[in-house]
Amino acid sequence: MISLRKHWNRFWFEAVSPDNLGLCRIVLYGTMFLYYVLTPWLFPSWGYHEDFVPWGSVSRVFWSPVWLMSVLHLPPASTQMIQAMQIVWRAALAFSCIGLFTRISTVASFVLGFYLFGLPASFGRIHHQEHVLIFSFLIMAFSRCGDAWSVDALIRKARAGTIPPPPVISGEYTWPVRMIWVVIALTYFAAGVSKVRHSGFEWVASGNMSYFLMSQYYHVSDADPLTSLGLVLARGSVLPHLLAASGVVLELALPIALFSRRSRWFLVPGAASMQFGIAMLMGPNFYQMIICQLLWVPWDRVVARITHLGEHGYRYAVVYDGACGLCRQTIGVLRSLDLAGKVEFLDAVNEWPGIEKRFPDLDRNQCLTNMQVLNPQGKKYGGFYGYRALAQVLPLGWLVLPVLYLPGIPWIGSRVYRFVASRRHQGACPLPNFSQIPK
């Protein structure tokens, strides 16, 4: 019992860094923002448009609220109210992805998502691909998923200055991810148990799967098969039975992945492949559930591997005024954005002898006046142009890099930089006494 208790506690509360939870937050909310917001806008020909607004005009005669909406006495909202809720919900998905006001945005994503997903079900359109998603939103809303890889974390690091705080290791960053695993595993397991309980061996031995493979091609549906391969497979004498058997086995076996790392290598991809195969052959799509399978991936290890590879390449050097509080805050943010380890930060106040030896062409007063960036070839950039050079190696900088090269932007950026730099020693950032700086 003692050993069992240790394994139980380690499963739920193993002390880890906040990185994996933060990355899972980005994957979950980012993919859902892409799925619900950007995909219908960028690819309207795909035929998928999850717009909840029309449900506000459906007759209340058909209103039959699902259990929890009935318990909470939630009424059907008007079209204008649903439209407002949908806009706020989509914004909450975006804010949750980037980690801005993380606690508020994740709660809003769950609360509004629960109501919006419940609307179609309360009018009789039963889909069950959102169940895992809404449970995942609920778990994230109660977690500390904004402690890493978030705008909130960048703001905290900027306030702390150039010296990053020591890494926090806690079980608080383990249980949310494991809880989502449990929800996914039990959802599939319940589907397998239902097949065995209600159909038994006949689910595999009968022509049930052949019927499912053919039926979607002969009636109107809102989820048509992606291919016509299902008609070909349905004519086989053995393959439909193998598909039925493999599906039940995967569903019943998925809980094993909770405890066996080796089994995750084939059970989790197998479950995702099964769902994708259903969309390919039979039509009903479970894209939300497929995307949630990405939360099994140890994203912190993936990023660590990428970062390790990046550390062996060329590096940029940033020389800054270490006596300036605003400069230290800025460098703290840049350190956080340097995901691939491509930038080296050098303090011109406290590390000048080494800097002068490595870069004899640098002028110390110039470095203390404007931040200097040197690329691997030794070319020097100052002020706005230094930030533009860094945008080439900071992953998040790639998003704004094209804008920084637009006509007129360098002129505006240079003047904004000079305006801020000329006033950075006022208030909280006192001007250093250059005569006392060690040479």
Concatenated DSSP letters of 269-333: HHHHHHHHHHHHHT----HHHHHHGGGGS-HHHHHHHHHHHHTTS--EEEEE-TT-HHHHHHHHH
User: What number is the average pLDDT over the span 111-129?
Assistant: 88
Residue (of 378, 351, 388) closest to 367 by Cα position: 351
Most confident of 10-24, 32-46, 232-246: 10-24
Confidence of residue 21 (pLDDT cuts 50, 70, 90): very high
User: Is the Cα torsion angle 269, 271, 277, 279 positive or negative in sign?
Assistant: negative
Mean pLDDT of the chain: 84
Confidence of residue 263 (pLDDT cuts 50, 70, 90): very high
Q: What percent of the chain has pLDDT over 70?
A: 88
pTM for this prediction: 0.78
CB count within 10 Å of CB 438 equals: 8
Confidence of residue 162 (pLDDT cuts 50, 70, 90): low
Burial of 243 (0-12, 13-18, 19+ CB in 10 A): buried
Alpha carbon 317 to its chain centroid, in Å, reads 30
| pLDDT at 321 (0 to 100) | 85
Confidence of residue 355 (pLDDT cuts 50, 70, 90): confident
Give the residue range(s) of CATH 3.40.30 domains in the chain: 314-436
| pLDDT at 358 (0 to 100) | 86
User: Is the predicted pLDDT of residue 163 greater than 60, yes or no?
Assistant: no
More confident residue, 308 or 33: 33
Fold of 314-436: Glutaredoxin (3.40.30)
pLDDT digits (tens, 9 = 90+) for 192-224: 999 999 988 888 888 888 888 887 777 666 667
More confident residue, 257 or 46: 257
In whole angstroms, how far apart are CA 401 and each of 234, 306, 332? 52, 21, 20
